[in-house]
Amino acid sequence: MRALVARGPGLPLRVEQVRLPPPGPGELRVRVRAAGVCHSDLSMVNGTLAPAYPLVLGHEAAGVVVEAGAGARVPVGTQVVLNWAPACRACWFCRHDEPWLCAANTAPAQPRGETADGTPLHVTLGLGAFAEEVVVSEAAVVPVPVDLPPERAALLGCAVLTGTGAVRNTARVAAGQSVAVIGLGGVGLSVLTAARAAGATPIVAIDVAEAKRDLALAAGASDFLLPDDLLSKRVRALTEGRGVDHAFECVGRAATIHTAWRLTRRGGAVTVVGMGGRDDPLSLAAADIFHSARTLRSSVYGSSDPDREVPALARQVGDGTLDLAPLISGLVPLDEAPTAFDRLARGEGARWVVTFPD
Ligand SMILES: [Zn+2]
Ligand SMILES: [Zn+2]
């Protein structure tokens, strides 16, 4: 079968023939119908992370179960959303209701299958979803209604779960609270959508690309600002001089975390949603930390339990209360996935979704 393979950091992405093992006990073979191009995939190839290669990219996807290994209970024909952080339900974190921190989920790349010439292959976050098929543990799928459009279902597996979870579970944004969101990729736009649904006001969207303005306003922002020297002043002007109750950093850089910190009011909260690199330290003055009384924390996978929350989000998409249309910039075939990565790297559009013919 065909898959999008990264051979090493900085090397061009290529669609290659690869082989996967048949599903073992408790595993499923899933025919992928749609897979979103997420910034974390870019982190797998631009040096931010150091996974093993060759590596099948992709971790935000939906597909249909086509074969079940021994003992697997999800029936063939079920549409599923892939979960890149399946909870073991046994470790300390899982037993303490924090399955997004499950101790069993650590490696960005896991060995699975081989390339056409027999080289051992790896898959991103246990999935490798830019591929015609994946073979995954049953714990790594969440069943959703079969009539949910696959390109929307796919986004529930990463951007939407992460963005809505950051707002609802991590920050617990309340109606009437003010919000700023820095970085308007798929996750940042999902944060805007969830903030609007929570009744936040104002909702200030911030991105270096002016082209994100219309996307931001469509997704739920009340205001769009470019991060110039006057950014703090402008945000304060929108919040009676205080700064926002909640700032969401959806970039994953110390500089933007620092910006989020400065935009937040005394006693407010900064939620870091972007996944940053190891060599990017953040510096805050001790006096500032004390005096500002702000909270700084991260939101891993939206502090969510995908087994519970993906079906809930799917219901909201189905009944129209969660509109994902503003998040999807376009659908592309697998052969055009490298182009979609280039667009993502340039900050063009929201989510590009790779779709596979039925
Ligand atoms: Zn992702
Ligand atoms: Zn666990």
Cβ–Cβ contacts within 10 Å for residue 97, how many?
7
The answer to whether residues 181 and 204 touch, using CB atoms and an 8 Å cutoff, is: yes
- Whether the per-residue pLDDT at 308 is higher than 90: the answer is yes
Q: How many CA atoms lie within 13 A of 172 on its CB side?
A: 0
Q: What is the pLDDT of residue 127?
A: 97
Q: What is the pLDDT of residue 108?
A: 87
pLDDT band of residue 66 (cuts 50, 70, 90) is very high
Mean pLDDT of 188-192: 97
Q: What is the pLDDT of residue 314?
A: 98
Mean pLDDT of 206-228: 96
Which ligand sits closest to the CA of 86? 2
| C-alpha 196 to ligand 1 mean position (Å) | 22
Q: How far apart are CA 310 and CA 264, in angstroms?
A: 30
SS3 (DSSP) at 188: helix
CA distances from 298 to 100, 173, 198, 267, 275 (A): 12, 15, 20, 17, 9
Q: What is the pLDDT of residue 358?
A: 81
- Record the pTM: 0.94
- Whether the per-residue pLDDT at 56 is higher than 90: the answer is yes
What are the tens digits of pLDDT across the range 256-283?
999 999 999 999 999 999 988 889 999 9
Mean pLDDT of 148-166: 97
**Percentage of the chain exceeding pLDDT 70:** 100
Q: What are phi and psi of 286, to 5 degrees?
A: -55, -40
| C-alpha 290 to ligand 1 mean position (Å) | 34
Beta strands in the chain (DSSP E): 2-6, 14-19, 27-36, 55-56, 61-68, 79-82, 109-115, 120-124, 133-137, 141-144, 179-182, 203-206, 223-225, 244-249, 264-272, 295-298, 328-332, 351-355
Mean pLDDT of 142-165: 97
Residue among 132, 134, 115 at smallest CA distance from 124: 134
| C-alpha 36 to ligand 1 mean position (Å) | 8
| C-alpha 342 to ligand 2 mean position (Å) | 35
